[in-house]
A and B are shown apart, each in its own frame.
Chain A
Amino acid sequence: MSTQEPMIADTGALFQIAEPTGRQATPRAPGRGIGIDLGTTNSLVAVAPHGEAPRALRDASGRALLPSVVSYVGDDVVVGYEAMAAQEEHSCAVISSVKRFMGRGIADVTWPHPYRLVSASGGGELFRVDVGGGRLVTPVEVSAAVLRALRERAEAVMGPVDGAVITVPAYFDDAQRQATRDAGKIAGLKVYRLLAEPTAAALAYGLDRGGRGLFAVYDLGGGTFDVSVLRLHDGVFQVLATGGDSALGGDDLDRALAAYLFTAGGHEGAPSRHQQELLRIAARAAKEALSERESVRVSVAACGIEGFEVRRETFEGLIDGLIERTIRACRATLRDAGVQPRELDGVVLVGGSTRTPLVRAAVARTFGKHPLADIDPDKVVAYGAAIQADVLSGSAREGVTLLDVAPLSLGIETMGGMVEKIIPRNAAIPIAARQVFTNYSEQQTGMQIHVVQGEREMAGECRSLARFELRGIPRLPPSMARVEVSFQLDADALLTVTARELMTGVRQSVEVKPTYGLNDEEIDRMVIESLDHASEDFAARSRAEARVELGRVVLAVRAALAEVGGLPGVLPAAERSAVEMQLTLADEAMAEPQSAADMLTLLRNQLERASEPFARRRMERALRAGMEGKSLHEIEQALAVEEAALDERRGAHSAETIEG
């Protein structure tokens, strides 16, 4: 090892004492987190401060649901029931179901809606909605108005809100998630995390406590139906498959019953708008009553219906076809997930219409077990979000171990099997850190991200947490491609690793619980082992570094030979054979796994020396070709512009800690 032979070297650099890095925690505000179910039709906010049972927050009139409707009539922005009341009169200026527009381009909007959509200036895919009076709003702003109303509701009850967990459908893509995050930010919320709706429902039932399992979530909302299959693995939920029908919801059950009532009242043709509304309200009330009773009497004076009896079997006959459609979607989703119904450990019901006995029976039959339904299905998603928000605000909860610091370093494997630590041991959590990595060769169009935990220098000696591959890295000369790897370790010790190529924006990410299945003795053992093996680890690391460096030079020389080696006058025969001999020696040394670092470094120096005249001539040739007919000033300018452009495309590339 090189440290055996001390060598005095003047490093030259002068240092300043820095403020501690990577340790400052984002201050916690236990109990100040809120959970928001941001729905297509209705939204709600719930809290579960300091480990309490979750509860939904109500408005001044005692209503928990807030219709996801925003009115831009006049100068004011009005949200909820009041906005809904204005909808009929001002259909263009009152926006509902904005969730369907989130993160979508104007070309994606293929469903009917009453709004005037305007392409955002600068083309692109984004659009705004013209709400009249010269006012244009983006879907993100509309969502933000709903979120702000919920934030204000929470603040009226509990004072300042620290942050929020907002739920999104499991199938939301990156753009839709980002749009939701942006809406949260505009609404003045720190978005702790976006949570998949089915995962939130599973959390509300505490299904995460089992550590592992397979679950299905049947979510019959007002206007949409979603079914998801979740896998809980090492304490982290993963969505295996989603399915459903975006044009089928609980409202369709009401409509089926309303149409039946209308005909039963002796009417033909279509009801008036007023009658339709009254029928819908009556049908909904009847549906709810029929969940408890065998029969109900309905009166709708405007339609001449007086004390008309609806029996449960009749209602079930009306909706049977609709329920069957949801069941077909469930079967397809189980197939997509590769899961047999008998493998499921539980089924969760979400959405008010799942109170209907026929729905429960159909779900029980399809999944082969009685669904979980003790928690109010209208609120279960918000409850799960509230529990998660409470944990992320820093509250200690039963069954959740809160850590103040990362007990072991977290990093990724780099070329040569070395570990690059991204989050150091003892860093206070929550913490986020990122570092940029480059490509090794031009042929490298993918990057293996191997996430490891531990203090050892070589990845093979650390605990492997996850592996994934980022594909689609553009072909660029060595060290020119830039892949940013970010680590985010949340208060509940969930680690999200994201790799993003900075030029194309392609990204990939994974979530793991680094502390899952790790006890104190093991942590101690891993730390002590790293001290015991410190010298051999450094030796292994030096070897690996020297090998990677040598490999880099070999690649560069080979690439140059292939490019211009054959051109006359660039590489005399004697020089060529010297270079080739060095390449052969390098190949041999690299093929031997135990080659010493000093040996590899020596070979690198020799190869560099042997190829130096060739490299110089190649450079001169390139410069001549580029400079012909240009003034020095022009060349300098061109170089500066190129450098600036490259820098911009690369983005920042030093390791840094970012705000959680």
Chain B
Amino acid sequence: MSAAMNLQPMPAITVTSRAAKVMRDQLARRGTPSAKIRFGIRGGGCTGYSYLFEFEDREARASDHVIVKDGVTVIVDPKSMLMLDGTEIDFETGIRGHGFRFQNPNIKDSCGCGESITF
């Protein structure tokens, strides 16, 4: 009997059902229902970090984290995962328009429009 493994909590990214449904619809409308969504953090320098959120036509790389929700696959590279751990992806409709909203607990500061972020 081996010693109990000290389990690390799995990095968690949650996708709400509402967000998953919109992703699924958009993938279907794009004509690539089996493509994936890549979620990540990009950049730095004088523009600061920003979110990367795009269609991904290729397969996930071995090191990528894969999150599947209601048949939609979201993939995150391991480096971005450090800064996205605990993020919830939701979809919002309201007076400010429609779009995905990232609730990222790692964020310290963000610019006025929220597209550039600081950790």
Contact = CB atoms under 8 A, between A and B. Distances in A.
Nearest to B98: A14
B43 to A, nearest CB: 7
A520 to B, nearest CB: 15
A399 interface: no
A531 B82 CA distance: 10
Contacts of A1: 119
A19 interface: yes
Nearest to B45: A420
B83 interface: yes
Given A2-B119, A14-B97, A420 B44 contact: yes
A152 B78 CA distance: 52
B46 A420 contact: yes
Contacts of A2: 106, 108, 119
A418 B100 contact: no
B100 A14 contact: yes
Given A15-B51, A438-B46, A9 B102 contact: no
A69 B43 CA distance: 52
Given A3-B83, A17-B26, A19-B55, A11 B104 contact: yes
Given A7-B105, A7-B108, A15 B46 contact: no
A20 interface: yes
A127 interface: no
A15 B110 contact: no
Given A419-B44, A421-B43, A12 B53 contact: no
Interface residues of A, number: 40
Nearest to B23: A17
Nearest to A9: B107
B55 A20 contact: yes
Interface string B38-51: 10001111111001
Contacts of B63: 531
Interface string B45-87: 1111001011111000001000000000000001100110010
Nearest to A16: B99
A17 B44 CA distance: 21
Nearest to A6: B105
Contact of B54 (A19, A418, A542): A19
Interface in A22-60: none
A530 B100 contact: no
A542 B119 contact: yes
A3 B85 CA distance: 10
A17 B54 contact: yes
Contacts of A9: 104, 107-110
B54 A20 contact: yes
B117 interface: yes
B113 A18 contact: no
A459 to B, nearest CB: 11
B56 A420 contact: no
Contacts of B43: 420-421, 655
B17 to A, nearest CB: 17
Contacts, number: 111
Nearest to A542: B119
A17 B53 contact: yes
A260 interface: no
Interface string A164-207: 00000000000000000000000000000000000000000000
A541 to B, nearest CB: 6
A367 B96 CA distance: 74
A473 to B, nearest CB: 15
B82 A535 contact: yes
A8 B108 CA distance: 8
B20 to A, nearest CB: 12
Given A2-B119, A20-B54, A21-B54, A12 B83 contact: no
Contacts of B118: 542, 545
Given A13-B115, A414-B45, A538-B82, A20 B100 contact: no
B54 A11 contact: no
B44 A13 contact: no
A426 to B, nearest CB: 9
Contacts of A13: 99, 101, 110, 113-115
Which among B45, B47, B51 has the greatest number of chain A C-beta atoms within 10 A? B45
B102 to A, nearest CB: 7
B37 interface: yes
Interface in A420-439: 420-421, 424, 435, 437-438
Nearest to B109: A9
Contacts of B119: 1-3, 538, 542
Contact of A20 (B23, B48, B57): B57
Contacts of B38: 20
Pick the most buried of B53, B82, B102, B117: most chain A CB atoms within 10 A of its CB.
Answer: B82
A62 to B, nearest CB: 49
A609 B94 CA distance: 35
A534 interface: yes
A390 interface: no
Identify which of A18, A457, A535 gathers the most chain B CB atoms within 10 Å of its CB.
A18
A137 interface: no
B114 to A, nearest CB: 3
A415 interface: yes
Nearest to A424: B42
A420 B45 CA distance: 5
A17 B43 CA distance: 18
B45 A11 contact: no
A149 to B, nearest CB: 42
Interface in B4-25: 23
Contacts of B110: 9, 11-13
Given A6-B86, A542-B119, A18 B45 contact: no
Contacts of A457: 44
A545 B103 CA distance: 23
A6 B46 contact: no
B45 A531 contact: no
Interface of B: 23, 26, 37-38, 42-48, 51, 53-57, 63, 78-79, 82-83, 86, 92, 96-110, 113-115, 117-119
10 contacts: A3-B119, A12-B110, A12-B114, A14-B98, A17-B53, A17-B55, A20-B38, A438-B46, A530-B79, A545-B118
Which 4 A-B residue pairs are closest in the complex by CB-CB distance? Answer: A14-B99, A13-B114, A420-B45, A11-B114
Given A3-B106, A655-B47, 15 more contacts: A2-B106, A6-B86, A7-B107, A8-B103, A9-B104, A11-B114, A11-B117, A12-B113, A13-B99, A14-B96, A15-B99, A15-B100, A17-B37, A18-B54, A20-B54
